Structure 1
Amino acid sequence: MLQFLGKDPDSPSGGSPTLWQDQDTGDLIVQGYTLTDPVAVSEVGDIPSGEAVVRIPLRMLRFLPLKAEQ
Structure 2
Amino acid sequence: MHLQFIGIDPDTGKNGSPTAWVDLESADIVIQSYTADDETRAQCVENTAAGHAKGVPDHETVIRIPARLVPILREACDAAERAQL
TM-score, with length taken from structure 2? 0.69
What is the distance in 1 between the residues matched to 2:14 and 2:64?
16
Closer/same/farther in 2, CA of residues 13 and 55 from structure 1, 3 Å limit: farther
| 8 Å contact from structure 2 (residues 8, 18) kept in 1 | yes
Normalising by structure 1, we get a TM-score of 0.81
**Residues 20-35 of structure 1 aligned to structure 2 (within 5 Å):** 20-35=21-36
**Counterpart check, 1:44 vs 2:44:** yes
Q: Which has the higher strand share?
A: 1
Identity %: 42
Residue-pair matches, total: 69
Which runs of 5 or more residues in structure 2 are unaligned? 46-54
- Higher relative CO (Cα under 8 Å, sequence separation at least 6) belongs to 2
Structure 1 residue 9: deviation in Å? 1.7
- What's the secondary structure of 1:48's corresponding residue? coil
More helix by share: 2
CA distance in 2, matches of 1:14, 1:58: 19
CA distance in 2, matches of 1:12, 1:37: 25
Larger radius of gyration: 2
Structure 1 consecutive aligned stretches of length 4 or more whose deviation exceeds 3 Å = 66-70
Cα distance, 1:12 vs. partner?
3.6
Which residue of structure 2 aligns with residue 10 of structure 1? Answer: 11
